[in-house]
Amino acid sequence: MEATPKKILVIEDDPVGHSAIRDYLVAHGYEVHSATDGAKGVTLAREIAPDLVLCDVLLPLKSGFEVCFELKREPKPAPVVLMSAILRREDDQRYGKEGVHADAYLVKPFALGAMLTRIRHLIGK
């Protein structure tokens, strides 16, 4: 019996980046759902209960920080990985352990392989 693929919600408003991430994750066996703004991302996350959320920081309607903060208040929150060109390595403590409670972040541009490693660390294959 084949295992059900893990669900990843990608919240990204850049169509090129979004497509690259989606295609890469699908090729590695994940079920991918998509939203292009923070408000739709929160709504979709509540509907589908993803295993993990990949969320850009700079989004229309709600920022990635707001999305993460809201989703982490759910009864059984999924891991949230923030993606941004504006975050720096030294921001990890500030945004990860305090405030929005992100589980991890990726500094853009990042290698898709590094993203996959981070996802597997958080939720497995």
Got the DSSP string for 70-123? HHTTSSSPPPEEEEESS--GGGHIIIIISTT--SEEEESS--HHHHHHHHHHHH
Can you give the pLDDT at residue 87? Answer: 63
CB 122 within 8 A of CB 52: yes
**Domains identified in the chain, total number:** 1
82-117 in b/e burial notation, b at 16+ Cβ within 10 A?
A: bbbeebeeeeeeebbeeebebbbbbbeeeeeeebbe
> Tell me, what CATH number does 77's domain have?
3.40.50.2300
For the CA atoms of 13, 91, 71, 49, the dihedral, rounded to the nearest 10 degrees, stands at: 70
Can you give the pLDDT at residue 24? Answer: 98
Q: Is residue 1 part of a domain?
A: no
Per-residue pLDDT of the chain (125 residues; tens, 9 = 90+): 568 999 999 999 999 999 999 999 999 999 999 999 999 999 999 999 999 999 999 999 999 999 999 999 999 999 999 998 876 554 554 554 455 678 988 888 999 999 999 999 999 88
Domain interval for residue 81? 7-121
Q: Is residue 53 part of a domain?
A: yes
Q: Quick check: pTM over 0.85?
A: yes
